[in-house]
Amino acid sequence: MTLWLMAGLLFTPLAWAVLTLLLDFSKGRVVTWLGILVQVLVSLGLWATVASEGGFHYLLGGWQAPLGIELRVDGLAVTFVLLTALVAAACGWHGGLYLDPGKSWHRYFWPLFWFLWAGLNAVWLGGDLFNLYVGLELISLSAVGLVALGGQAEALRAAIRYLLAALLGSLAYLLGVALVYGQTGSLSLAGVATLVSDGAVSSGPVFPLVLMLLGLALKTALFPMHGWLPPAHGIAKSPVSALLSALVVKASFYIAARLWLELGNELGSYVLAQVIGLLGALAVVWGSWQALLQPKLKQVVAYSSVAQIGYLFLLFPLTWGVAGAVSLQAQQGITLQVISHALAKSAMFLAAGNLILSAGSNKVDALAGVSRFLPFSLFSFGLAGLSLMGLPPTGGFAAKWLLLQASLGSGQWWWIVVLLVGGLLSAGYVFRIYRASFVEDSGTDHFYHPPRSLEVIPMILALLALGLGLVSDSVLSVMALPFDEGGAG
């Protein structure tokens, strides 16, 4: 049973990518929706299997590492696999209705979408450093293609900027991998961690670790390396922006977090952890501030992503050199933040897409009066905003609560200031959109009404983000399942 689930999970995206490459947009849409159904069912099945039986190692095709690909299927990985399935299903559904089938190049949305999904699954499950690199590159290249789908010179400029940043980040990571392999002779993350903690290598690979973290931070758009993100996420089609903000930036963060949690305590230092945390804090403040100033609606949402990504990097100071219980709290808080941001931000981008479609302009000021015509989408936008602000009972609140406790528990009270200021500023930019949309004196009376299903999708995602706070305990319990390290080598 597990074998079939794993085969379905890994095989479907690649097969569907090739299949949809041969079809036009409308046929590709039908085929993709079938594939999405398969993926969601398989992800649910795998999640249920791991939740009841615990995690396991899976050798792809029965080949042993290092030449084979060893996958690590643990509670955290399947949680992210399921999250990816939910968000990607929503974006694929929305994209099929949102994109114009009349533009011939839009048919490439489907293969790129599937390659992206394949890359994401590869990263969540990857157990060795090199295959994580391949997964990252698969994600980057398809994400860049998706950004370029806009077709205009502006979209291409954003795509090229994104590609240049992503390639530089990947190369830094790969150089780090090369140095780690040269020093330890192992590519498996768990293997390297064992060698380092046993003291088997004379001097720990500190420089490679920093290099890898630097490359991954560039790909995650950590302040001040975030310059490529707002243009790319702002100009892409809304379903694409949702995918990029919700999932793509999380992939590189996930690898950085795994590296830090395995190797950080031996190789990291107080200064390194605090510097990364400080950059995250600056990202929260700077990103939110910029979101308050942007004239275009999607730029507001994109800068909000820069800010929300900043919170994730608080993981580094809050897990270094602290008690085990505090570290666990921080890890749980960050995981909840990843999940709730993915759900809320995809809801927000999809709702923003509907608002833009309706108002016929991407300016915030053009939204005047839209509240009477599109209350449903605006409401989804606001619900997602609640989660970003961290108001109870949303997932964002649960995440920030855990982070708050971890900050207090580790005696690093200064991160609490960041959490509070970030929450206030995000309230500021969400209310700014609301204020613009409730202005009544614009005289504009022509608003396009998008199909009802386009409005339902962001609402579902926003409700999921809202409900996450209520079920966070059961979500966290699956992640914390014990994992048998015996198979790692």
Partner 1 sequence: MSSQLLYAFAGVALCGIGLFGYIRLDHLLRKLLAFNLMGSGVFLVMVGLAQRGGEPDPVPQALVLTGIVVAIAATALAVVLIRRYYHLSGRTTLAESGPEPKNTPKPEAHPEGAEV
Residues making contact with partner 1 (CB under 8 A): 66-67, 103-105, 108, 112, 130, 133-134, 137, 140-141, 144-145, 148-149, 151-153, 156-157, 159-161, 163-164, 167-168, 171, 174-175, 177-179, 181-183, 185, 187
Q: Which is nearer to partner 1, 20 or 337 (CB)?
A: 20
Nearest CA to 488 among 57, 187, 196?
57
Farthest-apart Cα atoms in the chain, separation: 73
CB of 62 to partner 1, least distance (A): 17
- List the end-to-end C-alpha distance of the chain, in Å, as a whole number: 25
Q: Which is nearer to partner 1, 145 or 396 (CB)?
A: 145
Distance CA 311, CA 219 (A): 16
CB of 104 to partner 1, least distance (A): 5
CB of 144 to partner 1, least distance (A): 7
CB of 186 to partner 1, least distance (A): 10
The torsion region of residue 439 among left (phi > 0), alpha (psi -120 to 50) and beta comes to beta
CB of 244 to partner 1, least distance (A): 16
Q: Which is nearer to partner 1, 288 or 362 (CB)?
A: 362
Phi, psi at residue 381, to the nearest 5°?
-55, -45
Query: How deeply is 399 buried, as exposed, middle or buried, from its count of CB atoms within 10 A (0-12, 13-18, 19+)?
Result: buried
CB of 170 to partner 1, least distance (A): 8
**Residue length of the chain:** 489
CB of 398 to partner 1, least distance (A): 38
Q: Which is nearer to partner 1, 137 or 266 (CB)?
A: 137
Any residues with CB less than 8 A from the CB of 158 and at least 6 apart, and which? 147, 228, 231, 232, 234, 235, 236
The tokens for 401 are 């609560």
The C-alpha angle with vertex 398 and arms to 397 and 400, in degrees rounded to 5, equals 65
5 with 58: CB under 8 angstroms? no
Q: Which is nearer to partner 1, 109 or 397 (CB)?
A: 109
Q: Which is nearer to partner 1, 299 or 329 (CB)?
A: 299
Q: Which is nearer to partner 1, 168 or 456 (CB)?
A: 168
CB of 45 to partner 1, least distance (A): 30
Distance CA 327, CA 315 (A): 9
Q: Which amino acid is at 470?
A: L
CB of 180 to partner 1, least distance (A): 10
CB of 36 to partner 1, least distance (A): 21
Distance CA 467, CA 347 (A): 14
Q: Facing residues of 71 across strands? A: 58, 126
Q: Which is nearer to partner 1, 101 or 185 (CB)?
A: 185
469 with 393: CB under 8 angstroms? yes
CB of 376 to partner 1, least distance (A): 33
Distance CA 451, CA 458 (A): 13
The tokens for 316 are 């580094």
Cis, bond preceding 111 (omega within 30 deg of 0): no
87 with 36: CB under 8 angstroms? no
| Residue owning tokens 């989408």 | 377
Q: Which is nearer to partner 1, 68 or 487 (CB)?
A: 68
Distance CA 223, CA 173 (A): 18
Secondary structure (3-state) at 71: strand
Q: Which is nearer to partner 1, 185 or 392 (CB)?
A: 185
Q: Which is nearer to partner 1, 5 or 187 (CB)?
A: 187
CB of 178 to partner 1, least distance (A): 4
- Computed on alpha carbons and rounded to an integer, the radius of gyration of the chain in Å comes to 21
Q: Which is nearer to partner 1, 135 or 385 (CB)?
A: 135
The torsion region of residue 118 among left (phi > 0), alpha (psi -120 to 50) and beta comes to alpha
